A = this chain, B = another copy of it.
Amino acid sequence: MSEAAPELYNPADYPPVAVTVDLVLMTVVEGRLSVLVQRRGQSPFAGSLALPGSFVGPGETLEQAARRVLMEKASMAEGWLEQLYTFGDPDRDPRMRVVSVAYFALMPAACLTDAVAKREDLLLAPAAGSQAPLAFDHAAIIELAIERLRGKLDYAPVALALLPELFTLRDLQEVHEAIIGKAVNKPAFRRRLLDTGWIEGTGQREAQTAFRPAEFYRRAVPDSSL
C-alpha cells in the first residue's frame, strides 16, 4: 500500500478478499519425499486431495496461522517452517477471491506417520508427480516447495529437520538422496556435511547392526536457521 490512497480505507469500496495459509508439510518416508495432503469433504473439489490450510484469524500473524495448522494436523509445535510463496490468481478458487500464503514445513517421518494414522482424512502422498490430481493450484504449490527444498539443501540445514534427534550419516545421506533424486558420493558427502558445522557426533553408536555400527550424530544448530 502507501499509494495515493484514501485517508481511511473503506472495505466496502473493494471486492471481498479472503486470506488463507496453505501448508506444504514434507518429510522423507522410506526413501521417498512425501507431502501431507487431506481428502476434501466439501465442494469444490470434494473427494480430491488438497493441502491442509486455514483462514488467517483476525488477530493472527501469517506465521501463527501456519503454525496453528501445523498443530491441528500434525500435533507438532516444533519443526522447520518458512514462508514459501503467495498465490493470488483471481480464479484460483471458484467461490471467491482467495489469496493464499503458502508455507513450507519439514518434519521427521515418525511424527507424520503418527499423525496420518490418527486421522481418516490425512495421508502422505509422494511429492513428485502424484497421479491423483490435486485441488485448486495445489500441484503447482507443491512443485515450488520441492524446488525450494532442493535449492536450500546445500545452504541450510533443512535435511536435519527431516530426521529424528539422533541419526547416522547414512540416514542423512539417504534423506539428501531422496530429495535430489540421485545417489551421491559417500566420502565427499560425509566430508562436506561434517565441515558445515551443522552436526556433531555423540559418542553413541548403533546397536544390533550385524556389521560395524555407525555413530549417531545430532544437530549442532537450532532448527530455526531460516
Contacts and interface: CB of A to CB of B under 8 A. Distances in A.
A5 interface: yes
A1 interface: yes
Given A1-B54, A2-B51, A9-B95, 17 more contacts: A1-B18, A1-B20, A1-B22, A1-B100, A11-B18, A15-B58, A16-B16, A17-B17, A17-B19, A59-B90, A60-B90, A61-B88, A61-B89, A62-B88, A62-B89, A86-B101, A99-B101
A149 interface: no
**Chain A: interface secondary structure?**
loop
Nearest to A134: B2
A58 B18 contact: no
A176 interface: no
A40 interface: yes
Contact of A58 (B45, B50, B60, B97): B97
B14 A18 contact: yes
Give the copy number: 2
Interface string A1-28: 1111111110100111111101000000
A192 to B, nearest CB: 18
Kindly state the interface size class of chain A when it binds its partner. 35 or more
A6 B90 CA distance: 20
Contacts of A85: 83
A3 B52 contact: yes
A40 to B, nearest CB: 6
A42 B11 contact: no
A157 interface: no
Interface in A61-93: 61-62, 69, 83, 85-86, 88-90, 93
Contacts of A2: 22, 38, 40, 45, 50-53, 135-136, 138
A55 interface: yes
Given A1-B20, A19-B88, A14 B62 contact: no
